Structure 1
Amino acid sequence: MLKHRHGGDIYEVSYRIDYSANINPLGTPESVVKAAQKSILDCAHYPDVDCRALRRALAEKENMEPEQILCGNGAAELIFAMVQAEKPQRALLMAPGFAEYEQALRANGCEIRYYELKKEHGFRYQTDYKKMLTEDLDMIFLCNPNNPTGLLIPKEEMLEIFQICLEKKIRVVLDSCFIDFLEQEKEAEYTGYLDDYPNLFILKAFTKIYAMAGLRLGYGMSRDKRLLERMKNVVQPWSVSIPAQAAGVAALQETAFVHRSAKMVQEERIWLKKQLQNMNLWVCDSQANYLFFEGTEDLSEKCRKEGILIRDCSNYHGLRKGYYRIAVRTRKENEELVQVFRKILKPAERRN
């Protein structure tokens, strides 16, 4: 069961603070909640199967045509739809990386190759990745910033990857679900390159920045309209509910909320990382709304006894027991987490 277990599984254990899911600690904007609540009055009707109002709002935000956007029941549905529509025979994944890519590929009988990120390089992308972009590949998945490390691929490297894949006819799926939390968001934004790279599909979601995990809403963008049509044909109709569509339209108006959230998370990430390092824990140089670090093998179990849930990363490919990911939350919550860590970790157990 651990193989595909994610963070945010709060339904089997009692807890005080959930650090296992990387959700905006400021919560769901009030306007989004109200829009979802109001839309319940329309629940006697089927949802708009084409998400027209939502796609128009997204097109304005992303500066593209609505026809270049496909909405889904969370980013996960679109990951599975991509694989089902394209039916890749061979795919390349970075490891560690988000488990949903592997799950979707294996469900469709795809051969998976891994580029393993190494601790001796701080789990950073290395240029030798490009050597693995061979002509027999059909698809690659990239997460930028990466989950669980929170690290970015340098822009010049990313564009070179796009070009190599274009020349070798490799589909590029770029997961940008955490981009809104970045201090230098433009350095990781590639929607402006979609016209240059028809092999590129960019994935985003409302889950993290708008704290809408329970409503399930994601979207993908590509200039390849035939790809989007193939993807649409393999998902069930009406997968995006009326409340999710209404909440999405309302969320896109919350620009001030997004800026405020990103600023707070950036400040708290720096503070929290320093506290972990002061305990002699190895911490990855994340730029996202979470921190990836190495601790003792029983840390998650001990934290759970204290009412704190953290993400055990041992089910990521290439990682062993003792690697963890924690969300960045409010200062009060982060102070409580640090107190729990100090209580649990004896000086001799703190790793360099």
Structure 2
Amino acid sequence: MKDLGHGANVDLMAKSFNKKTEDIIDFSSNINPRVVPNLDKYILEGLNNCKSYPDINYTKLKRNIGKYLSINPNYVISGNGATEIIYLLMKNLKKRLGILNPTFSEYERGAKLNNLEVISFMLNKDDEFSVNLKEIEENINDIDSLFICNPNNPNGKIKNIEELLNIMTKHNKLLIVDETFIEFVENEDDYSLIKYVEKYENIFIIKAVTKFFGMPGLRLGYGVTSNKDLIEGIYKYKEPWTVNSFADTLSNYILKDEDYIKSSKEYYVVEREYMINSLRQHENIQVHDSDTNFILIRLENMKAEELKLKLFRDSNILIRDASNFIGLDENYIRIAIKSHEENVVILNELNKILGE
């Protein structure tokens, strides 16, 4: 299989170095390490529900998501992870798609597989990956829609994009926002465009349950829009029963667990500050601001691949070589924020390599 260049390739790396997968600490995958309470109980209920097909319309699942977001459940399209939603959406876009880079590579891959023309706009990495609104408006006639990740992967910085929404609305263009990591943001309601979905039909938002709730293997994502043509177009291509009974069942519980949601947000506020401040003790690296559960770093005196291999070989730590993101060079790495104990481990190992 072709290497798609993502993180979380633990099995392949372990096999290459004759290591045990369970011995590896995976900092390449951006997942909440905190376990949802009563998860085993919910999984058993999901197992029992596997005896029947899931509801083909996912009525209860969409209702649960609607309550979680305080939106009309008819605006929700559930999928087998956010990636399914991305690929279904690409089948319904007009010819020219703008993408703000550096960002998640599956946007461009999905676009090209559906014969879309991709127009790349570059975020300003010298200004914490800010958006050049003037450039977008000057080139607005070259695109039919625009894809932005907020908070962005790989740098994790959240942006207020209401002005961008105003530009896209004024010119009758579709704005697609990937909010997959927004639950990790301290004041997410200040930045999410969910509150504008009913008012504006030119918004399509992509979200995922499994990253914030720490279950990427569950594969549960969804799209949100009030655009009836887009909804109908997606269901024209969407395969039935792509969300399994486990994900369907867990939505009855985890989206309502206010204590888990609150404590996870509070944990990341504190731990993110600790990690960033600790990393910035090193003069020979550049640590970018982050509002989510991962941190982008530029190494001054070492290549990303070299550090990745050294950490894996000597310390059983896997990080993300971020050099394959469009616009980033061979010195960029990305590390997840995991449990405090695991974070201490990688900080100590980096101290040994980079110097106190």
Q: TM-score under structure 1 normalisation?
A: 0.92
Unaligned runs of 5+ residues in structure 1 are 348-352
1:32–1:250 CA contact under 8 A, matched in 2: no
Match of 1:246 among 246, 249, 252: 249
The answer on 1:286 being equivalent to 2:294 is no
Letter in 1 for 2:28: S
Letter in 1 for 2:287: V
Match of 1:102 among 97, 108, 114: 108
- 1:159 maps to 162
2:137–2:167 CA contact under 8 A, matched in 1: no
Superposition deviation, residue 2 in structure 1: 8.0
The answer on 1:83 being equivalent to 2:83 is no
Q: Which range moved further: 114-123 or 193-202?
A: 114-123
Match of 1:16 among 21, 24, 27: 24
Is the alpha carbon distance of 1:213 and 1:129 closer, same or farther for their aligned partners in structure 2, counting shifts above 3 Å? farther
Superposition deviation, residue 299 in structure 1: 1.1
Query: What SS class does the counterpart of residue 45 from structure 2 fall into?
Result: helix
Query: What SS class does the counterpart of residue 77 from structure 1 fall into?
Result: helix
1:8–1:20 CA contact under 8 A, matched in 2: yes
The answer on 1:303 being equivalent to 2:311 is yes
Residues 299-343 of structure 1: CA deviation (Å, up to 9, x unaligned)? 111111111111111111111211011111122111110111112
Residues 160-185 of structure 1: CA deviation (Å, up to 9, x unaligned)? 22222223232211111111111121
2:133–2:164 CA contact under 8 A, matched in 1: no
How does 1:236-275 map onto structure 2 within 5 Å? Answer: 236-275=239-278
2:157–2:289 CA contact under 8 A, matched in 1: yes
Letter in 1 for 2:50: C
Once residues 130 and 177 of structure 2 are traced to their aligned partners in structure 1, the CA distance between those partners, rounded to angstroms, is: 17
Query: What SS class does the counterpart of residue 265 from structure 2 fall into?
Result: helix
Once residues 48 and 3 of structure 2 are traced to their aligned partners in structure 1, the CA distance between those partners, rounded to angstroms, is: 40
Superposition deviation, residue 118 in structure 1: 3.1
Is the alpha carbon distance of 1:128 and 1:32 closer, same or farther for their aligned partners in structure 2, counting shifts above 3 Å? farther
Superposition deviation, residue 248 in structure 1: 2.0
Residues 15-67 of structure 1: CA deviation (Å, up to 9, x unaligned)? 4311111100213x133442232221232322112111111111112222211
- 2:133 maps to 127
Match of 2:66 among 59, 65, 72: 59
Output the aligned Cα RMSD: 1.7
Letter in 2 for 1:6: H
2:308–2:318 CA contact under 8 A, matched in 1: yes
- 1:93 maps to 99
Once residues 144 and 32 of structure 1 are traced to their aligned partners in structure 2, the CA distance between those partners, rounded to angstroms, is: 29
Match of 1:203 among 201, 206, 211: 206
Unaligned runs of 5+ residues in structure 2 are 15-20
Once residues 346 and 255 of structure 2 are traced to their aligned partners in structure 1, the CA distance between those partners, rounded to angstroms, is: 32
Once residues 152 and 114 of structure 1 are traced to their aligned partners in structure 2, the CA distance between those partners, rounded to angstroms, is: 20
Over the matched positions of the two proteins, sequence identity in percent amounts to 31
Residues 175-202 of structure 1: CA deviation (Å, up to 9, x unaligned)? 1111111112122122111122101011
- 1:216 maps to 219
Superposition deviation, residue 148 in structure 1: 0.8
- 1:350 maps to none
Query: What SS class does the counterpart of residue 280 from structure 2 fall into?
Result: helix
- 2:47 maps to 40
Query: What SS class does the counterpart of residue 30 from structure 1 fall into?
Result: coil
Once residues 250 and 308 of structure 1 are traced to their aligned partners in structure 2, the CA distance between those partners, rounded to angstroms, is: 33
Match of 1:189 among 175, 189, 192: 192
Residues 109-130 of structure 1: CA deviation (Å, up to 9, x unaligned)? 1111111123322322333343
Letter in 2 for 1:327: A
Match of 1:313 among 319, 322, 327: 322
Once residues 19 and 325 of structure 1 are traced to their aligned partners in structure 2, the CA distance between those partners, rounded to angstroms, is: 8
Q: Which range moved further: 122-131 or 139-148?
A: 122-131
For this pair of structures, how many residues does the alignment match?
342
Residues 130-169 of structure 1: CA deviation (Å, up to 9, x unaligned)? 3355124122111111111111222xxx222222222323
Once residues 33 and 233 of structure 1 are traced to their aligned partners in structure 2, the CA distance between those partners, rounded to angstroms, is: 36
Once residues 84 and 123 of structure 1 are traced to their aligned partners in structure 2, the CA distance between those partners, rounded to angstroms, is: 29
Once residues 109 and 333 of structure 2 are traced to their aligned partners in structure 1, the CA distance between those partners, rounded to angstroms, is: 21
Q: Which range moved further: 105-114 or 39-48?
A: 39-48
Superposition deviation, residue 346 in structure 1: 4.6
Q: TM-score under structure 2 normalisation?
A: 0.91
The answer on 1:73 being equivalent to 2:80 is yes
The answer on 1:333 being equivalent to 2:342 is yes
Letter in 2 for 1:321: E
Residues 59-113 of structure 1: CA deviation (Å, up to 9, x unaligned)? 1122222111110000000000001123x31111111111111111011111111
1:299–1:322 CA contact under 8 A, matched in 2: no
Once residues 127 and 221 of structure 1 are traced to their aligned partners in structure 2, the CA distance between those partners, rounded to angstroms, is: 24
